[in-house]
Amino acid sequence: MTAPSLRADPPRSDPPCADAPCADPPRGDPPCADPPCADPPQPFGSDSARWSKRCAGPVVTELRLSAFAAHRGTVVPLAPLTLLAGPSGSGTSSVLRAYEALSRLVEGAPLDEVFPDPAGCVPEGAEADRQRRRGFRIGCTADGPAGPVRLELAVQAEPTLRIVGERLTLAGVTLLSTALRDPDQPTLQAAWHTDDALPVTRERLPDDRLGTALLPLRVAGRTPGQLQVLAAAEQLVVALRPAFACEPRPHRMRTPVPPGEGRLRRDCGNLAAVLHAEYNGRGAARGRERGDGGGPGVVYGAGSGSGNGYVYGRRHARLVALADAGCARPVTGLRVERFGDGQVRAVLARGDGPGTPLERLGDGELRYLALGVALLMGPGADPADAGSEVPAALQTRTVLADGFDRDLDGRQSRELLTEAASAVAGGRVRLLGTVTEAGAARARGTAGATVVDLEP
């Protein structure tokens, strides 16, 4: 069985406000008017059965770049394992950038942190409106028990960065709508669905925060309409938030690091610390250390055979098998060494030999191992998940990997694709990555992978 190959929907025509997505709507429009491009109405929860069989929690099934960077009217369908392919300039990296931006916005990040270079997000050649404003538009669909929830976001990039419009819809009903009414005020006029004596509730929201992420703190949840708004907003937040952008930088993985970090960083420079935390902090038996004068001590870890230790043991075994399949020489294990100053480094065990520290591996091997760890560290394995109000069992983490097959040889690329397909099959992890032409060809022959072709 080969992987399906899709093509992102081409622009049919410029979407409304493509060149100036931040123009004020006519003041006569009702705050909750249906969007011009809304999908045909569907029954509430019509997609729930398909969703519930596919993943542990709500997931993002479609990304829309109406006017963003190199994209105009681009619609990207997202399967559990989606790889983007296309020539230089086709905007594959921009798709990942838009996804990460939405994920950070639902976490509550301010607009200027999410878009440090907003002018670079405006489509090239986009003309300013009468008020000399330019901007961009992105959106997504989150599928879950409430049904397919759609988010559309319009951002003004020039002359000042601000959100100028947001729309949350479900089954053709607009649940939240925001619009810029007074350009001199740092707020938006918001209206959300109430389905009571008053059909909508109106309030002011800040123009540098995503309104959908603020709804759980603003909506009382007393009427059926308010409950629908809360369910849709929470589903979108839960679907978007567990995203991890993974961009391994081999040169940062070659130096010892302080222990204690259990969360993999974006550049994967703390890979040894993450493996150390796996040994000593999540159900594996406490490491036994033995000193060698002033030399490094070796931290040993083994699964306890039950509970979290068993989960750790399986994950560790899969990582060792992955390393053995993709590294130049046989790998029989993986251990962590601690130096006299307390810093740690990871070492690949080679039978009875001394082993190979990570700093001696090639760039391709280091990227391969880091991406493998990112795929295996699903929800619940990250210490940050412990404080989340959403149970790990209801989270599905999306790994964003720009250059998924960068610096990898054919064998490594095939092994990592196979591991990715296995990881997403469990419904706890999804992958959205970009690949070269060779990587796309391999992905088309991998069961469970979907290739989306983009064009300039």
pLDDT for the residue numbered 55: 61
pLDDT for the residue numbered 140: 98
pLDDT for the residue numbered 106: 96
Average pLDDT over residues 219-242: 93
Average pLDDT over residues 217-226: 90
Smallest CA-to-CA distance from 3 within 444, 344, 455, 404 is with 444
Instruction: Please state, in angstroms and as integers, the Cα–Cα distance from residue 90 to each residue in 74, 102, 139, 254, following that order.
Output: 11, 21, 19, 33
pLDDT for the residue numbered 131: 87
pLDDT for the residue numbered 391: 58
Smallest CA-to-CA distance from 232 within 103, 146, 172 is with 146
Average pLDDT over residues 101-110: 96
pLDDT-above-70 percentage for the chain: 77
Output DSSP code: residue 328: S
pLDDT band at 167 (very low <50, low <70, confident <90, very high): very high
Average pLDDT over residues 3-11: 58
Using DSSP, state whether 94 is helix, strand or coil. helix
Does the pLDDT value for residue 28 go beyond 90? no
pLDDT for the residue numbered 260: 80
**CA separation for the pair 403, 218 (Å, rounded):** 40
Q: Tell me: the pLDDT tens digits for 403-439? A: 999 999 999 999 999 999 999 998 889 999 999 999 9
How many H-runs (helices) and E-runs (strands) does the chain carry? 10, 19
Cβ proximity of 435 and 427 under 8 Å: no
pLDDT for the residue numbered 392: 57
pLDDT for the residue numbered 297: 53
Q: Comparing 56-60, 119-123, 372-376, which segment has the lowest mean pLDDT?
A: 56-60
**CA separation for the pair 19, 66 (Å, rounded):** 10
For residue 429, the tally of other CB atoms under 10 A from its CB is: 27
Q: Tell me: the pLDDT tens digits for 126-163? A: 999 888 999 999 999 999 999 999 999 999 999 999 99
**CA separation for the pair 32, 152 (Å, rounded):** 13
pLDDT band at 91 (very low <50, low <70, confident <90, very high): very high
pLDDT for the residue numbered 53: 46
> Please, what is the angle between helix 307-326 and helix 271-281, to 10°?
150
Does the pLDDT value for residue 45 go beyond 70? no
Taking the whole predicted model, whether its pTM rises above 0.75 is answered as yes
Q: Considering the chain, what is the average pLDDT of its residues?
A: 82
Does the pLDDT value for residue 177 go beyond 80? yes
pLDDT for the residue numbered 361: 95
Does the pLDDT value for residue 312 go beyond 70? no
Does the pLDDT value for residue 309 go beyond 60? no
What dihedral angle (degrees, nearest 10) is formed by the CA atoms of 109, 111, 116, 122? 140
Q: Which residue has better confidence, 264 or 195?
A: 264
Q: Tell me: the pLDDT tens digits for 187-217? A: 999 999 887 777 889 999 999 999 999 999 8
Does the pLDDT value for residue 51 go beyond 80? no
Token code pair at residue 182: 């007074």
Q: Tell me: the pLDDT tens digits for 314-369? A: 888 999 999 999 999 999 999 999 999 999 999 999 988 889 999 999 999 999 99
pLDDT for the residue numbered 316: 86
Q: Which residue has better confidence, 97 or 242?
A: 97
**CA separation for the pair 239, 143 (Å, rounded):** 8
